[in-house]
Structure 1
Amino acid sequence: MDFALILFVLLLLTAVIKLIDKVVLKPRRIEKYGQEQEDYRPWWVEYAVSFFPVILFVFILRSFVVEPFRIPSGSMLPTLQDGDMILVNKFNYGIRLPIVDQKIIPLGNPKKGDVVVFRYPVNTDIDYIKRVVGVSGDTVAYIGKRLFINGEPLETTPLGPYVKPSQQVGNPLKLQEKTGDASYEILNMPGTGGYITDPQFPFVQNCEYAASDFKCTVPEGHYFVMGDNRDNSEDSRYWGFVPDNHLVGKAFFVWMNFGDLGRIGSIK
């Protein structure tokens, strides 16, 4: 079950118990035992009343401000590693109603280069994290391991071999890639490439595939995302575009990695 839904149910439950205690149980206690006994609540009422403000605070914080996530794979290497625990800004792209994820106050949209968390279009019970490389109206192409946006190749600078953590196999090369105001590192594995055959997803007609190369035009209200570990990432190349209403927020801070405390504070 979704954690936000669990929090919401607990919030409702404790709020109802708190209300019943105030309106029904407390007057009965006063009537039966006198004013000095008004706060002698049953244990289950005491717990509900005590936990209500805590649950309310966590629910508001997690729904509208920041939400923690744990990186489960190496698809975003070298930017994010398996085991990184990150914080996601929930209001950067607009205020959304909890549970239903309906945007009610637009505050902005993802920019190319942003690292975003979103609900996986194939299974919305799963959260994914990737980098936005194309927004509505962009034509995104990946040809010969080089990313093109609207026909222009992104600026890349070779940085040499990647000194890899245990989660990365092979001998990838690290490059600096730049799009707009964003500059970040990516990995490419020489001599390898994923071969995409018969992709099926909404708006697939916007795409052209040829072996490991492709070209897609991003539809209105959608985003094209890719992992920084380009040869080890299942992303928009395989399962399509991310609808705006699937966005959770923008990743902005690594707050813990128990395997490498030096990771704290890192992200681009």
Structure 2
Amino acid sequence: MASEAKAQNGFVETIKTIVYALLIAGVFRTLFFQPFWIPSGSMKDTLLIGDFLFVNKMAYGYSYSSCPSIRVPGIEIDAKDICGFLDGDNKRFLGSEPKRGDVAVFRHPVTGRDFIKRVVGLPGEKIQVRDGVLFINGEPVELKDMPDFVETAEAQGPQGLRPRCANGPVGEGADCIKTRQTETLPNGVEHSILNIGTQGSDNTPVYTVPEGHYFMMGDNRDNSSDSRIPSTAGGVGYVPFENLVGRADRIMFSSGGSSMLFFWTWRSDRFFKGIQ
């Protein structure tokens, strides 16, 4: 009997330990940092498929979007299921506005899925793209040509996504080339952008960013679903302040294969790399 009671006590203590650990992890993820894997190539070459980073949630303060969403096979818990009572006022607790050029994670205004893009347009500004050039309040951003971005034409990441190429279509294992430029935003933030060819998103109407919203674009300009397309039409549209999750500051780990366990695909040159 004593041994049975001892076993039961041990089982209860184990359950309590697991519950406490989950609570601590949940608080840490809600208040401080959220892990994020880069699933697609929309932010190349700033972020590559398989980059792993922690999103700084303290950067912009807290809203319903700060609550974690859990999506694993058989389980889907959305942030709104936990903190939905905070949704709708477009405000944040201890809120701090993002700066132009920040790489930010946010909840899609329609689907609620986490996206990562660069902040290029602030509230009240007029944003337009003409012939692939970003215009802010009628003025073009500064562009400087860089050497082409070259990657291997092959399936990338767990989803097996294949890159689009300016010199494509190309065969398996061939060089996939995109033209690359340095874009300098009005506040001096410099970052590289990629282009594949001419397409509809290279020429847009003039968008006036509403108050309390932001205009987001991917650095891989011809392979990004972003604010150039309304959220109701499959894009992102304007992103409300309350939908921001946090700022991406540094890549912690990177794997170029279909699994992080394939150590031979690790990109050691990207470990702890700062995000510009």
Shorter-chain TM-score above 0.5:
yes
Larger Rg, first or second structure (1 or 2) = 1
- 1:100 positional shift: 1.7
Matched, 1:83 2:50: yes
- 1:76 positional shift: 0.4
Matched, 1:115 2:111: no
Aligned pair partner of 1:100 in 73, 79, 83: 83
Matched, 1:129 2:112: no
Matched residue of 2:228: which SS?
helix
Distance in 1 (CA, whole Å) between partners of 2:43 and 2:136 is: 20
- 1:40 positional shift: 6.9
Equivalenced residues, count: 217
Matched, 1:241 2:238: yes
Distance in 1 (CA, whole Å) between partners of 2:58 and 2:6 is: 39
- 1:43 positional shift: 4.7
- Cα deviations across residues 189-239 of structure 1 (Å, max 9, x unaligned)? 24x2135xxxxxxxxxxxxxxx83321000011111010011111111112
Aligned partners of 1:194 and 1:231 also within 8 Å: no
Q: Decide whether aligned partners of structure 1 residues 52 and 39 sit closer, same or farther in structure 2, where only a CA change above 3 A counts.
A: farther
Amino acid at match of 1:250: R
Distance in 2 (CA, whole Å) between partners of 1:193 and 1:151 is: 21
Distance in 2 (CA, whole Å) between partners of 1:40 and 1:189 is: 63
Matched, 1:159 2:155: no
Distance in 2 (CA, whole Å) between partners of 1:86 and 1:120 is: 19
- Cα deviations across residues 10-57 of structure 1 (Å, max 9, x unaligned)? xxxxxxxxxxxxxxxxxxxxxxx9xxx998754542222222332222
Matched, 1:60 2:60: no
Matched, 1:73 2:40: yes
Aligned pair partner of 1:253 in 243, 250, 255: 250
More helix per residue: 1
For residue 169 of structure 1, what is the aligned residue in structure 2? 165
Amino acid at match of 1:172: K
Matched residue of 2:206: which SS?
strand
Matched residue of 1:245: which SS?
helix
- 1:265 positional shift: 2.1
Aligned pair partner of 1:213 in 204, 211, 224: 204
Amino acid at match of 1:114: D
Q: Which is worse superposed, 221-230 or 167-176?
A: 167-176
Q: Identity, % of aligned pairs?
A: 39
Distance in 1 (CA, whole Å) between partners of 2:121 and 2:178 is: 24
Aligned pair partner of 1:229 in 220, 227, 242: 220
Distance in 1 (CA, whole Å) between partners of 2:152 and 2:208 is: 35
Distance in 1 (CA, whole Å) between partners of 2:94 and 2:252 is: 27
Distance in 2 (CA, whole Å) between partners of 1:238 and 1:153 is: 20
Amino acid at match of 1:244: F
Structure 2 gaps of 5+ residues are 68-81, 154-162, 167-176, 231-236, 257-266
Q: Which is worse superposed, 44-53 or 224-233?
A: 44-53
Distance in 2 (CA, whole Å) between partners of 1:96 and 1:238 is: 25
Amino acid at match of 1:117: V
- 1:104 positional shift: 5.1
Bigger relative CO (Cα 8 Å, ≥ 6 apart): 2
Distance in 2 (CA, whole Å) between partners of 1:188 and 1:79 is: 13
For residue 178 of structure 1, what is the aligned residue in structure 2? 184
- 1:121 positional shift: 1.6
- 1:114 positional shift: 0.6
Runs of 4+ in 1 over 6 A off after TM superposition: 37-40
For residue 193 of structure 1, what is the aligned residue in structure 2? 199
Distance in 1 (CA, whole Å) between partners of 2:57 and 2:182 is: 28
TM-score in terms of structure 2 length: 0.72
